[in-house]
Structure 1
Amino acid sequence: MNFIQLAEDISDATYSFQRDNLAARNSALEARISAASLLRNSLTQLASALGDRVRNGDLSPQASISDASVATVASAAGTSPKGSYTLEVSQLAQSQTLVSQSYTSADDLVGEGSLTIRFGAVDGASFTEDTAQTALNIAVDASDTLETLAAKISGESGGDLNAYVAQGTGGAQLVIKGRDGADNGFVLEPTSSAASPTQTPGDLSYLGWTPATDAGELRQTSQDAIFELDTVAMRSASNSVTGLPEGMTLELSGTNVGAPANIAFSNDSAAITTVMADFVAALNDLTGQLNEVAAAQGGALGNDPGARELKRDLARLTSEIVMPSAAEGEPNTLSDLGLSLSRDGTFRLDTDRLNETLVASPEGAAAMFTNGPFGVFATMDNLARANTVTGDPGSLGGSVSRYEDQIERNDSRLERIAEQQDGLRERLTRNLVSAERQISASQSTLGFLQQQIEIWNSSN
């Protein structure tokens, strides 16, 4: 008999029921974790998709301007501007453009030394430095050409300047352009390493420029955009203007002195109807998934508190106030946007109710699709976040955490069972091997006695 195999079989059979029972429990718990995680992810994805629709600006009131040559108008994502404005632009922002004196070619040496570029405002023959901007100091090697110097200016300025070499009819010339805005002009102050700077091609001093010494190199002066919004005078260093009332942004493109353009905002009712239809479809997908996994018979989350609470949250979604600060008579619930709950627990879009809201209060409806602390997105985002909280036993996150803890405890018990099984196997092996030795010794003694008896019987 194989006593070692016998010990293995007895120890395995002793603990197999406990081990199989715990393994089955872990399998069921993993199915619950998977179902709860899928529900939680579906809810998060729904909130995220809704947030994307709000942030991309499709649902914001759409801007129009009476003179499209003056500017384009937009509103920041998640805002709901309203009303009308007048816009009169008297000056566009522009950058300084400086063209150097001529060289023979882009490969001409410019001379060794250093080039300091200071920033500020150029006004006629004067220059007022903007000390808030750090001056640019460029080391110029003896091997630097007009081409390599242009690359150094562009690279070391960090985007504040753009320099290149233009080969024109008069030769090669260094072109330097700054950023838009009155304070983004600049002067060139070279320091030549030559003992006697000659201010001729090949000596770095040849590239020096200030407004007082200008001999036609300045081709365009930097300036701010100047405009009036509702007759209020404003300035901007850029033609892309932000920070305006109600999140409005402007991209200035022309002037219209004496002929103000009118800006107006209108709500896109069709876009709101479309997003509500998509929202209802997504809610029904989530509800169908919830009903399947939380079914009393056969559902992985049939008695799960997190799933039950999510069912209750979805059931009261239509009547939940999502705009607590809305004025009396303004829409403040999802039912005002046409979200309705059918008897079978599915959602449907009540287009008549939605259209009534869009006609009676288009601005109020648009305000419900903003990126603020209240509204449709905030409501779904809060619901999704609540179901990720692991410390709340009534959330899907709490359910996942609880099931994971149970698996961890079961795994610890399985480890202890494995240790106990190993201990039993070792004891049985020792005892059975010892018994085998004793049996073998007894058989030897028995054989000896049988031989003696046979001898005695033969002698008689």
Structure 2
Amino acid sequence: MASISSLGIGSGLDLNGLLDQLEASERQQLTPIVQKQQSHQAKISAYGRLESALTGFQDAVAKLADGKQFEAVKNEVTGDALGATLGDDALTGNYDLEVARRARGYSIATQGIGAADERLGAGALNIALANGDTLNVEVGEKQSTLEGIRDAINDAGGGVQAALMNDGGDTPYRLVLSSTETGTEAAIDEVTFSGGLGDALALDQNSEVPALNAKLTVNGIEVISQSNQVEGAIQGVTLNLRETGTATLDVTRDGAGIKKAVKDFAEAYNTLQETLDTLTRFNQETGESGALLGDATLRGIESRLRSVISGGAGGGEFNTLADLGITLKVDGTLEVDEEAVDDAVDNQLGALADFFTGTVDRDGLAVRLDDALSEMVDDGGTLDDATEGLETSIDTLQNQYTRTEERINSTLARYRTQFQQLDSMIAEMNSTSSYLTQQFDALNAQLGQ
């Protein structure tokens, strides 16, 4: 039997076209699988958007769940003598301050020599500090220049730094030794040179700059500090001394920060609500719908949040958000009466803190919301479980897709084999027909004669 390399050549039929149609028909079995995968992937992306919005809301909630938010303070300094930095344990108060002296470090220089790169001879340098620490530096012959000694001291560390100075005289180069920190405890007590260094170097006592401690008064109380950053003179406050002079420091409750935290809470909730509306909306004109329309996971999250927010935190002066001037509108968003919130912060701060953070007997609204949100967005939470379920379904569908595609390819291979056989058979039949026609024509011609 003759071999046919291309379908349809032997028979004259469009078998390739017919095979393409059969393949297109078979591959329609893959379409619903792909559509399901795309639908699941769209849901996973939508869950990601939902998680992002929930996390943003949780960040705002967490600030109100933390009691420190309602204890937050701010400071105002009048005068240029100092600045102030507040810590977490700073308390409100007013302070009159006077900086009598800033702290400074100790320094002393050696007598001058002619050249900075002149070798002075191997030896050692010993420095004793007022705090009892010592610095011992061994210097070899090659390193025994002022530059080498400077580098050896700086490499050793130990509370002392070295620099070179050129005073412009006949022997201008000096080694300047300085304590790395201010105050008398970090001062240099004694410097000794030995070996070749002892023969070439000596201290110039006239260059000595004594260490000084900072001295200031806080509300008339004298304070001594080793550093110009004074800690502990006022609880939770670090004073940064800049110059001598007077200043006042007022540490007050950060009412503006608390008001902002409350308003940010409402804004974050509204942003979350907008995301929920986008993910569940339906356009009647176009028929388009949000990726999570009718989704049970989203409905459960909405229901839980609505239950916590509407439940409030009873038992105190404020029972619900509405008591604070924050009302739930028909569209599901929160509306803030800023005057009412400002009044609560200014005049009922303790009750406001109890409403959000809770008391010994009960959890506040923000604490309960934070717990609910954690169950939704944390690892192993509601959204994590839903996402993992969809990912598992996608993997299952991919396996189904692979099996279906293998079955389709097998079917198409069988069709191709059958078409090749059909093509060959018709070609043989056509050949036989042509032969018989020729024989009959020849026979007719003979009979006609």
1:304 aligns with 295
2:377 alignment partner, SS class: coil
% identical equivalent positions:
20
2:229 aligns with 240
Stretch moving more, 285-294 or 246-255 = 246-255
Q: Does the CA contact (< 8 Å) of 1:61 and 1:366 recur in 2? A: no
Equivalent residues in 2 for 1:197-208, closer than 5 Å: 199-201=199-201, 206=202
1:97 aligns with 106
Equivalent residues in 2 for 1:121-132, closer than 5 Å: 121=130, 128-129=132-133
Unaligned runs of 5+ in 2: 1-7, 9-13, 284-288, 358-362
Q: Does 1:26 align with 2:37?
A: yes
Letter matched to residue 341 of structure 1: L
Which residue of the other structure, out of 206, 218, 221, is the alignment partner of 2:211? 221
User: How many Å apart are 1:290 and its aligned residue?
Assistant: 1.2
Q: Does the CA contact (< 8 Å) of 1:92 and 1:239 recur in 2? A: no
CA distance in 1, matches of 2:321, 2:136: 57
Q: Does the CA contact (< 8 Å) of 1:63 and 1:266 recur in 2? A: yes
1:211 aligns with none
Q: Does the CA contact (< 8 Å) of 2:115 and 2:173 recur in 1? A: yes
Q: Does the CA contact (< 8 Å) of 1:93 and 1:237 recur in 2? A: no
Letter matched to residue 174 of structure 1: L
Q: Does 1:267 align with 2:253?
A: yes
Which residue of the other structure, out of 354, 378, 386, is the alignment partner of 2:341? 354
Which residue of the other structure, out of 401, 411, 421, is the alignment partner of 1:424? 411
User: How many Å apart are 1:100 and its aligned residue?
Assistant: 1.5
Query: Are residues 58 and 362 of structure 1, via their aligned partners in 2, closer, same or farther at CA, if it must alter by over 3 Å?
Result: closer
Letter matched to residue 215 of structure 1: Q
Letter matched to residue 302 of structure 1: L
CA distance in 2, matches of 1:58, 1:451: 110
Give per-residue Cα distances to partners, 1:236-259, cap 9 Å, x unaligned.
654434578874433356799xx9
Which residue of the other structure, out of 44, 47, 53, is the alignment partner of 1:42? 53
Equivalent residues in 2 for 1:175-194, closer than 5 Å: 175=176, 176-180=178-182, 182-186=184-188, 187-192=190-195, 194=196
CA distance in 1, matches of 2:69, 2:80: 23
Stretch moving more, 137-146 or 173-182 = 137-146
Stretch moving more, 435-444 or 359-368 = 359-368
Q: Does 1:249 align with 2:238?
A: yes
Equivalent residues in 2 for 1:387-426, closer than 5 Å: 387-389=376-378, 391-392=380-381, 394-395=382-383, 397-426=384-413
Query: Are residues 317 and 248 of structure 1, via their aligned partners in 2, closer, same or farther at CA, if it must alter by over 3 Å?
Result: farther
User: How many Å apart are 1:183 and its aligned residue?
Assistant: 4.4
2:164 alignment partner, SS class: strand
Query: Are residues 99 and 60 of structure 1, via their aligned partners in 2, closer, same or farther at CA, if it must alter by over 3 Å?
Result: same
Equivalent residues in 2 for 1:440-455, closer than 5 Å: 440-455=427-442
2:205 alignment partner, SS class: coil
User: How many Å apart are 1:332 and its aligned residue?
Assistant: 8.9
TM-score scaled to structure 1, two decimals?
A: 0.70
Letter matched to residue 406 of structure 1: S
CA distance in 2, matches of 1:301, 1:83: 49
User: How many Å apart are 1:346 and its aligned residue?
Assistant: 0.9
1:173 aligns with 174
Q: Does the CA contact (< 8 Å) of 2:40 and 2:394 recur in 1? A: yes
2:428 alignment partner, SS class: helix
Letter matched to residue 100 of structure 1: A
Query: Are residues 428 and 363 of structure 1, via their aligned partners in 2, closer, same or farther at CA, if it must alter by over 3 Å?
Result: same
Query: Are residues 41 and 59 of structure 1, via their aligned partners in 2, closer, same or farther at CA, if it must alter by over 3 Å?
Result: farther
Q: Does the CA contact (< 8 Å) of 1:241 and 1:250 recur in 2? A: yes
Unaligned runs of 5+ in 1: 123-127, 208-213
User: How many Å apart are 1:157 and its aligned residue?
Assistant: 2.4
Which residue of the other structure, out of 75, 91, 95, is the alignment partner of 1:63? 75
Q: Does 1:292 align with 2:274?
A: no
What's the C-alpha RMSD, in Å, of the aligned pairs?
Answer: 4.8
2:200 alignment partner, SS class: coil
Which residue of the other structure, out of 324, 328, 347, is the alignment partner of 1:341? 328
CA distance in 1, matches of 2:54, 2:350: 28
CA distance in 1, matches of 2:69, 2:416: 76
Query: Are residues 399 and 449 of structure 1, via their aligned partners in 2, closer, same or farther at CA, if it must alter by over 3 Å?
Result: same
Query: Are residues 355 and 143 of structure 1, via their aligned partners in 2, closer, same or farther at CA, if it must alter by over 3 Å?
Result: closer
User: How many Å apart are 1:301 and its aligned residue?
Assistant: 0.8
Give per-residue Cα distances to partners, 1:264-295, cap 9 Å, x unaligned.
53213233334433442332222112112123
CA distance in 2, matches of 1:180, 1:149: 23
User: How many Å apart are 1:432 and its aligned residue?
Assistant: 1.4
2:35 alignment partner, SS class: helix
CA distance in 2, matches of 1:235, 1:316: 57
